[in-house]
Chains A and B, each alone.
Chain A
Amino acid sequence: MTVHKNLQINKEGRLKHFLSTEGLSRELLTEILDNAENFAGVGERAVKKVPLLRGKTIANLFFEPSTRTRTTFELAAKRLSADVLNINIESSATKKGESLLDTLQTLEAMHCDMFVVRHANSGAAHFIASLVSSGVRIVNAGDGRHAHPTQAMLDAFTVRRHKGSFSGLKIAIVGDIMHSRVARSEIHAFNTLGVKELRVIAPKTLIPAYMSALGVKVFHNIDAGLKDVDAVIMLRLQNERMQGALLPSADEFFKMYGLTEKRLENAHPDVMVLHPGPINRGVEIDSDVADGARSVILEQVSYGIAIRMAVMSMCMGGSE
């Protein structure tokens, strides 16, 4: 992974590409959160724009469908005054057989300064970052099962806004850890930011064997796992996982792992509930919880814009 580490950071140690939360220092992650704090106020002003990236062009390259991530990236870029291209890969030349490299070179020839990439293959963003010419920046908007670093940072931002700091916190991530790029990015981010205890809660079939090596406590029983936690991050149960015999049924999953008000009684009284969305009501989370006072799910969406503004401007500002 050393190659990837170097790829994200320039000679002065500043952020160049944002591909993964893994291998970035606490100082850098904290700088992202601090910058996002400043950007969070921009959305509340008369003019919801700052001129930081005026004259820059950012292309959203989504090889996988997405609504909220793509929209918040687009809004973030627009609030930084950049011009935004949304490339719908489904109906683009890739469908006609153009290779990824040719697509990239075509966009580079149009003088794009940054690509925001979502791809079904793990490592796609790293791959693209290693191919593009030196002036172009890459932000990973989710690659396969590997990483979704801006989601992890916006969750960290949401937690810090409510709890102030990370050092005393117990945080639990619940659900399909195995297939979740969000979980992986969160584990690296929260551990680097120094939470007191990080837990993962899921059935054995949905937790990879190497989990405890990442510095997390593994629980298969949700009631034990939720004991005294300050924040619960629920993950979406991806329906396609049902087919691989990893789970008996959605109903069964809800019975065993679904987050309900009753189960939350075990947690710290001020527990907050996060979910990267889209939520499956009645599968991983009960409606009462999703719409309840402890839920910060909609706040996460707003903070997503601030985090993406911070990451984009930090990557664009640094030298090569």
Chain B
Amino acid sequence: MAVIEKNKAIEAIISVMATDLKTYLEERNRKNVVIVGVHTGGVWVAERLHKLLKVKDPLGELNIAFYRDDFSQIGMHPSVAPSNLPFDVDGRDIVLVDDILYTGRTIRAALNELFDYGRPASVTLTVLVDRCEQELPFKADVVGTTMSLLKGEHVKLTGPKTLSLVTK
């Protein structure tokens, strides 16, 4: 296990992301914004973006355990906190935040879950790290940093207070 980015660097990346995200939303006239983080790492990044963008509505959290496509292979995942979207999803401009974009399967699951809560006006995908190896047709709208890793290598965000990116 090796630490590749430490707290300060990550916080700096996130503040650049916040600026990019703001521009991105303004350019597209997406004003009815709520932020939703995907458990667990995505929520930590989302918390910071939520603060930086001064979004009025509380932060939403998605636990995609019930929407995973590998359930029949590996069964239930150990559960983290339940999904909690403390606002009406209908007509909102959702900023969907995850820590690592890899195969895109998490995003597929998160979108499916999101649409079971209602019909958002738009979804803006925001990720801290893009591994650029998607297996599904998803492209992040706002990216903190890109990273290319060898097959079998994994990158993980650890937190929640001090964020680090570690590989193993």
A318/B63 contact (C-beta < 8 A), A41-B82, A41-B84 known: no
- B116 at the binding interface (Cβ < 8 Å): yes
Interface flags for B106-137 (1: CB within 8 Å of A; 0: not) read 00000011011110000000000000000000
Q: Which chain A residue shows the least CB distance to B115?
A: A47
Shortest CB–CB separation between residue B38 and chain A, in angstroms?
Answer: 15
**Stretch from A31-39, A61-69, A157-165, A252-260 contacting the other chain:** A31-39
Interface flags for B34-71 (1: CB within 8 Å of A; 0: not) read 00000000000000000000000000000101110001
- A119 at the binding interface (Cβ < 8 Å): no
Contact B84 A47 (CB under 8 A): no
Interface flags for A15-50 (1: CB within 8 Å of B; 0: not) read 000000000000000010011011111100111011
Contact B66 A50 (CB under 8 A): yes
- CA A46 – CA B115 in complex, angstroms? 9
A46/B116 contact (C-beta < 8 A), A38-B66, A38-B82, A52-B66 known: yes
Contact A47 B116 (CB under 8 A): yes
- Within 78-107 of B, Cβ neighbours of A (below 8 Å) are at 78-79, 82-84, 89
Task: List chain B residues, Cβ under 8 A from A35.
Answer: 76, 79
Contact A50 B82 (CB under 8 A): no
Shortest CB–CB separation between residue A231 and chain B, in angstroms?
Answer: 24
Per the CB 8 Å criterion, the residue count for chain A at the interface is 23
Task: List chain B residues, Cβ under 8 A from A45.
Answer: 116-117
Per the CB 8 Å criterion, the residue count for chain B at the interface is 21
Contact A318 B116 (CB under 8 A): no
- A314 at the binding interface (Cβ < 8 Å): yes
- A295 at the binding interface (Cβ < 8 Å): no
Q: Which chain B residue shows the least CB distance to A79?
A: B66
Shortest CB–CB separation between residue B154 and chain A, in angstroms?
Answer: 22
A50/B75 contact (C-beta < 8 A), A37-B82, A41-B82, A41-B84 known: no
- A86 at the binding interface (Cβ < 8 Å): no
Partner of A46, one of B65, B78, B117: B117
Task: List chain A residues, Cβ under 8 A from B118.
Answer: 46
Task: List chain B residues, Cβ under 8 A from A318.
Answer: 75
A34/B79 contact (C-beta < 8 A), A46-B116, A46-B118 known: yes
Task: List chain A residues, Cβ under 8 A from B83.
Answer: 38, 41
Q: Which of B65, B66, B84 has the most CB of A within 10 A?
A: B66
Shortest CB–CB separation between residue A51 and chain B, in angstroms?
Answer: 6
Shortest CB–CB separation between residue B132 and chain A, in angstroms?
Answer: 28
Contact A51 B66 (CB under 8 A): yes
Q: Which of B65, B72, B75, B113 has the most CB of A within 10 A?
A: B75
Q: Which of B71, B89, B115 has the most CB of A within 10 A?
A: B71
Shortest CB–CB separation between residue A291 and chain B, in angstroms?
Answer: 30
Contact A317 B75 (CB under 8 A): yes
- A287 at the binding interface (Cβ < 8 Å): no
Task: List chain A residues, Cβ under 8 A from B63.
Answer: 38
Task: List chain B residues, Cβ under 8 A from A319.
Answer: 75
- CA A38 – CA B113 in complex, angstroms? 13
- CA A14 – CA B78 in complex, angstroms? 11
Shortest CB–CB separation between residue A256 and chain B, in angstroms?
Answer: 44
- A266 at the binding interface (Cβ < 8 Å): no
Given contacts A31-B79, A46-B116, A52-B71, 11 further A-B contacts (CB under 8 A): A31-B78, A37-B79, A38-B66, A38-B79, A38-B83, A41-B82, A45-B117, A52-B67, A317-B71, A317-B74, A319-B75
What are the 6 closest A-B residue pairs judged by CB atoms, nearest first? A317-B75, A47-B116, A50-B66, A38-B82, A317-B76, A318-B75
27 contacts between A and B (CB under 8 A): A14-B75, A31-B78, A31-B79, A35-B76, A37-B79, A38-B63, A38-B65, A40-B82, A41-B82, A42-B66, A45-B116, A46-B117, A47-B117, A49-B116, A50-B67, A50-B116, A51-B66, A51-B67, A51-B112, A52-B66, A52-B71, A313-B66, A313-B71, A314-B76, A316-B75, A317-B74, A317-B75
